Structure 1
Amino acid sequence: MLLKQELHELKAKAGEGILEIEDRLKAAEDIIHELTEKNHNLQQDIIYLNKKLDKELSINQDLLEQAEFEKNHYSITINDLNSKKSELEDKIKRLTTKLDELSQKATCDEVERNGLRTRIVDLVAREESLSLQVNEKGKMIGLMKTESEELVMKISDLEGAARAYLRSFLGNIKSKIKLNICQNIEHDMP
């Protein structure tokens, strides 16, 4: 009879232990489910941030391409202006030579000389104007190149920072999840 009573008490304690273990297992499953939902939400946030980063990168790439196109356009314009400047310099030399020849002739009248001088002065003024335009375009191209390079560096820095943040963030989440699971398992063990 004593054995039966002890056996009955042991069965009762075992039943209570099983119920307690089942309760702890249910609590652990709830925590795992909650952490899984949080992990899913975090994955959705990461996907959203990656899409946003890709979109910003695409916009910045478009801006860089546009800046490169404009730089090429201004380079062509500067080359054209330099070519015109060279032509004007040659024309000035020819006109100056012609003026010298005319001034040596005694039959040359003063009106003709004044007209040639006026044309030379106009051409010199135009040459100076074109030189200023060439210099301004060169400065604009230099500024655009500097701004483009700074923009590329900023984009690279932002991309690196975003990736580092996401790695750190995911590392922290994984560590916390592992820590919570370990603590729950240790807490549940007798």
Structure 2
Amino acid sequence: MTFWYNAIAPFTPQYHALGHSWDNYAAWYGLHHLKEMVSLDALLNPSVVEPDYKNSEDWTYIICDGVWLTGFYSSIDYVLQRTKSLHYQLIAVVKEPTEACHQIALDGFEFIGYDLLDDAYSISTLTNCTGIASTLMPDDFNEHGLISDYNRAILAQKEFVEFNPNEPHSRCYLMAVWRQKLEMFS
């Protein structure tokens, strides 16, 4: 299993890097039971890692998939070195896991669920595409805005494509997500 890493801005009732309203989001999506959002969506939980794309050494850590920059990195140390924000969550992900991940241990991290990330690695089909048809119900989402059950996440991934064949965000990757909360203060 290959882990990729990132540091993302929190989205909680108290904080959002881009100033989005928690109450407006919860009402828009109908997920009033959320305690926080831990999404791979670049608008909801933007990356706070600042790579230097002109530095060839940085490219040894930047994960690309064909022509796409994934927004993930191969090294925790690199992520921490390139994170300038004081408010972030360190995450680890596995793209398209072939088994349930809730019992897979990653030192210093906890498994928090599955996200469905569009094939351009920017929008979470799960947390930022309300108009896409599926059989997902609010109870399918855990307190982080993710799906806890592996089989339910796979079914949602298949439904998005089946029910929405012309929607670009329906072509999505199943991403297992682990998180380590880090509060950095100067």
Relative to the length of structure 2, the TM-score reads: 0.20
Q: Taking structure 1 as the reference length, what is the TM-score of the superposition?
A: 0.20
The structure with higher relative contact order (CA 8 Å, sep 6+) is 1
Which is higher, the Rg of structure 1 or of structure 2?
A: 1
Task: Tell me which protein shows more helix as a share of its residues.
Answer: 1
